[in-house]
Amino acid sequence: MASIVYIYIYIYIYIYINFFFFFCSNHNLIDIKCNLLAIALSLLSLLALFLHWKRWVFNGVNKTKLTGVQFTYEIAPVFVLMEQLTLKKMREIIGWTNGDGDGLFSPGGAISNMYSVMVARYKYFPEVKTKGMSAAPRLVLFTSEHSHYSIKKAGAVLGFGKENVILLKTDERGRVIPADLEAKIIDAKQKGYVPLFVNATAGTTVYGAFDPINDIADICEKYNLWLHVDGAWGGGLLMSRKHRHKLSGIERANSVTWNPHKMMGVPLQCSAILVREKGILQGCNSMCAGYLFQPDKQYDVTYDTGDKAIQCGRHVDIFKFWLMWKAKGTIGFEQHIDRCLELSEYLYNKIKNREGYEMVFEGQPQHTNVCFWYIPPSLRVMPHGDKRREKLHMVAPKIKAMMMECGTTMVGYQPQGDKVNFFRMVVSNHAVTKSDIDFLIDEIERLGHDL
């Protein structure tokens, strides 16, 4: 009986989510028809799945209580298949031949990035798995000074040491300067260190910058280094025919981090680590625990994906993403991405020449990150210098605090390098409207005018 209830809950959630996306996006008639068709078809296919795998599904559902755990195929067969299918699709979109390769959903971009470093180390120094870091020479990793701190953290956690994560210089827009990478590789080699891994960021957290992947890939090939692309933030742009050129060269990466829970609007948590070489995740992480991963099961045990992870039980992150993809379609994600970029372009165009605003870097942003200072009238007349910098540094925090006290809106700020606090507005929700953007500007001016 309990199983019947679970089926009802499943179908209920399924319809609910489908209709939720259906009503939450702007539709024309074709969209509506496509969506209805997609809903009907996917419902049918889901029902067929249930009938076909009744026993296994019930078993999985009972054990996993809908939110679920994913160790082995027998525990969560449908979720395992959903994961494999979706990862393959993502690898196809990256551009790897036939979508071949490997991957896993992990608890976030920081962990996905850590996987990439682990796998790179295993590729070049597999003996570290058994003998530890003393079996390897002094290894160094490279990433830009604008990259996410999780690369440095991976270096610390995995025993490379923070000092062995070498930061690369960027241009004024926050993109890695490839010549600096090559110079630092040569320098490291001369000191007797062994370069191992390069991270290129596709969509940096603050500036939204895309590192030049092709130039970096050339250097990685020349020196035989692992190339990882951290697309936690910018990976979503791969879904857009208009914007995916910003990641061109990504198919040359050995591994990619891509967070559907960021730009694609999937609820937290949903992050994928994708690896070009099949089998290496398994080789790197497997411990072959006899009580879970028996080699003599009656089914193909390559479906037991749990041993590739550094976790034991894994949360089922795939279900909501798979559902969302079914409901919105690839086209729906593309529209979502294009719309968000359009909105940030609207913001950029509105403030770039407006009195009282200064952009942090010149030119149209590559991602939805719009970085700017608001200069209150009292500062507009001040000569440039330390005193003005000091005052400007306090403006964004003060305005944000007032926004929160008034309960009207919120926008992030931070310093970066030698730049004092500036606002960073990002759009990842396509339900945002132009009037929301107008409101934000009005609020900043209303609250900041007398500072």
Ligand X SMILES: *Cc1c(COP(=O)(O)O)cnc(C)c1O
Which residues would be at the binding site for ligand X (CB under 6 A)? Answer: 108-110, 113, 148, 150, 201, 204-205, 230, 232-233, 259, 271
Q: Which residues of 45-57 are buried (b: 16+ CB within 10 A; e: fewer)?
A: ebeebbeeeeebb
* Least Cβ distance, residue 295 to ligand X (angstroms): 33
* Least Cβ distance, residue 25 to ligand X (angstroms): 24
Q: Which of 104, 368, 105 is nearest to 234 (CA)?
A: 368
* Least Cβ distance, residue 435 to ligand X (angstroms): 28
Tell me whether residue 38 or residue 158 sits nearer to ligand X (CB atom): 158
Contact of 314 with 64, CB cutoff 8 Å: no
* Least Cβ distance, residue 147 to ligand X (angstroms): 7
Tell me whether residue 103 or residue 109 sits nearer to ligand X (CB atom): 109
CB atoms within 10 A of CB 116: 26
* Least Cβ distance, residue 154 to ligand X (angstroms): 10
DSSP 13-53: HHHHHHHHHHHHS---HHHHHHHHHHHHHHHHHHHHHHHHT
* Least Cβ distance, residue 264 to ligand X (angstroms): 12
* Least Cβ distance, residue 112 to ligand X (angstroms): 7
CB atoms within 10 A of CB 29: 7
Tell me whether residue 139 or residue 232 sits nearer to ligand X (CB atom): 232
Tell me whether residue 72 or residue 112 sits nearer to ligand X (CB atom): 112
Helix/strand/coil for 358: strand
Residue nearest to ligand X (CB): 109
Which contacts of 312-315 are long-range, i.e. CB under 8 A and separated by 24 or more positions?
A: 312/71, 313/69, 313/70, 313/71, 314/69, 314/70, 314/71, 314/105, 315/67, 315/68, 315/69, 315/70, 315/107, 315/269
* Least Cβ distance, residue 243 to ligand X (angstroms): 16
User: Which residue has tokens 């003393």?
Assistant: 134
Q: Where are the alpha helices (DSSP H) in 250-385?
A: 280-285, 318-351, 377-380
Tell me whether residue 113 or residue 305 sits nearer to ligand X (CB atom): 113
Tell me whether residue 156 or residue 186 sits nearer to ligand X (CB atom): 156
Contact of 202 with 230, CB cutoff 8 Å: yes
CB atoms within 10 A of CB 211: 30
* Least Cβ distance, residue 231 to ligand X (angstroms): 8
* Least Cβ distance, residue 451 to ligand X (angstroms): 30
Angle at 337 between CA 334 and CA 341, to 5 degrees: 135
User: Which residue has tokens 């179908």?
Assistant: 11
Helix/strand/coil for 165: strand
Q: Where are the alpha helices (DSSP H) in 95-161?
A: 109-124, 128-131, 149-157
Tell me whether residue 22 or residue 105 sits nearer to ligand X (CB atom): 105
Tell me whether residue 107 or residue 283 sits nearer to ligand X (CB atom): 107
DSSP 202: B
| Amino acid symbol at 373 | W
Tell me whether residue 150 or residue 366 sits nearer to ligand X (CB atom): 150
What is the C-alpha separation between 367 and 307, in angstroms, rounded? 36
* Least Cβ distance, residue 438 to ligand X (angstroms): 27
Tell me whether residue 109 or residue 236 sits nearer to ligand X (CB atom): 109
Tell me whether residue 72 or residue 259 sits nearer to ligand X (CB atom): 259
CB atoms within 10 A of CB 349: 12
